[in-house]
Structure 1
Amino acid sequence: MSFLSARAMTGGYGATDILHGCAIAVERGEIAVIVGPNGAGKSTAMKAIFGMLRLREGEVRLDGEPITALSPQERVRRGMGFVPQVNNVFASMSVAENLEMGAFIREDDYSETMEQVFSLFPILYEKRAQAAGELSGGQRQQVAVGRALMTRPKLLMLDEPTAGVSPIVMDELFDKIIEIARTGISILMVEQNARQALNIADKGYVLVQGRNRYTDTGEALLADPEVRRTFLGG
């Protein structure tokens, strides 16, 4: 069984189902990317996996253990880290305080993890005393990812990590995501910049109306003429 296994996910908001039998799996140290048109259910799938959306059918397992009934907080303790697309930093708090908030579940000395975050994102060390709300969009994303890493996740979930940033910053963030995955952390990411995201993905999922349309390696999806024509702009 995959490290993360979300199977037959069906659910949505109120009486309306957004997901229809959706399945997502991620192996250890793998980068998996969910792409698709607007309204395809990409962020909904992420919320369902993280426990922010109750499923009507289906199950989610992490490292072989069923977690479908667990709250998001309990899933964090099991090894999930989630970075939402918006409102993902405490704007009035300093960079260092934001990172410390990520260690709220820990009872051990987290200074080594903070050093690792500063090593991964050197600009955060330089601006550690500055309010997170004063940073650029790309720097705030680094704070949000860094705070999630402070929980020492086994699976890091990123919802549109490059939304609103420049192409240069996007490339830098993708490089950092690759670096994180190389440490053995699994990555599950929703991304509108589909071509660039699939270029770094070990596995890609194309969702359409809450259903799996295509599943393959990132390389294979980029090479698929139908995927390119329909979802990647040719």
Structure 2
Amino acid sequence: MSFLIGENMTGGYGAADILHDCTLAVDLGQIAVIVGPNGAGKSTAMKAVFGMLNLRGGQVRLDGQNITTLSPQDRVAKGMGFVPQTNNIFTSLTVEENLEMGAFIRRDDFSSTMEQVYELFPILREKRRQPAGELSGGQRQQVAVGRALMTKPKVLMLDEPTAGVSPIVMDELFDRIIEVARTGISILMVEQNARQALEIADKGYVLVQGRNRFTDTGQALLADPEVRRSFLGG
């Protein structure tokens, strides 16, 4: 059984369904990547898994427990972290204050977790007293991921973590995501850079119009002629 699974999810906004029997799953310590064309429902699927979208069908289970009716806040308390694509940091606060805000549900000493974040993203230690709004795009994304890690999640969900960053920064972010997964945290992410994302994925999902079109290992999807032709530019 997968550690996190959104199974046969159907739902949308208002009367129209965007997801149609969509299933996403990730095991502990694995990286699962969701790719597909614009408007395929990728971010909607992530929001459904995180409880930001009411499902008309299907369910979400975490570690064997049905969490379909839980609010996003309750899912965070259960061990889920979510980094949205935009508006994912407090620009007027310093880097360190952003990380402290990430520990809002913690009642214990979180200094060791902050130290782990600084080890993962050394540039954040350097700039910890600087307002996060003054950072580059890639550094802001590191703050956003670091803030989510402060809750000590079992699952980290990332919506387009490399959007708008340079290829060099993208590679660095992917390296850090691999490091996070190696600590045993599950990663579920939507990514526009499909080829590069599938390179690091244990499991890949290609969504088209809110439905699962292809599901396989990252390497198998990269090798699939139809996936390459239709979604990876040949």
Range class of TM-score, shorter chain:
over 0.9
Determine whether 1:97 maps to 2:97: yes
CA distance in 2, matches of 1:8, 1:224: 24
For 2:161, the equivalent position in structure 1 comes to 161
1:129-178 C-alpha deviation (Å, 9 max, x unpaired) = 00000000000000000000000000000000000000000000000000
1:56 partner SS: strand
For 1:185, the equivalent position in structure 2 comes to 185
Residue 115 (structure 1) shift? 0.2
For 2:55, the equivalent position in structure 1 comes to 55
Counterpart code for 2:117: V
1:57-95 C-alpha deviation (Å, 9 max, x unpaired) = 110000000100000000000000000000100000000
Determine whether 1:207 maps to 2:207: yes
Residue 5 (structure 1) shift? 1.3
For 1:29, the equivalent position in structure 2 comes to 29
2:55 partner SS: coil
1:162 partner SS: coil
Residue 96 (structure 1) shift? 0.2
Counterpart code for 2:226: E
Q: Percent identity at matched positions?
A: 82
Counterpart code for 1:140: R
For 1:72, the equivalent position in structure 2 comes to 72
CA distance in 1, matches of 2:102, 2:138: 19
For 2:88, the equivalent position in structure 1 comes to 88
For 2:170, the equivalent position in structure 1 comes to 170
CA distance in 2, matches of 1:119, 1:7: 36
CA distance in 2, matches of 1:86, 1:200: 23
CA distance in 2, matches of 1:40, 1:204: 15
Correspondences of 1:34-49 after superposition (within 5 Å): 34-49=34-49
Give the TM-score taking structure 1 as reference length. 1.00
CA distance in 1, matches of 2:167, 2:30: 24
For 1:145, the equivalent position in structure 2 comes to 145
For 2:15, the equivalent position in structure 1 comes to 15
Residue 17 (structure 1) shift? 0.3
* Structure 1 unaligned residues grouped into runs of 5+: none
Give the TM-score taking structure 2 as reference length. 1.00
For 1:230, the equivalent position in structure 2 comes to 230
Q: Please tell me the root mean square deviation across aligned C-alpha atoms, in Å.
A: 0.3
CA distance in 1, matches of 2:169, 2:34: 20
Counterpart code for 1:151: T
CA distance in 2, matches of 1:202, 1:34: 11
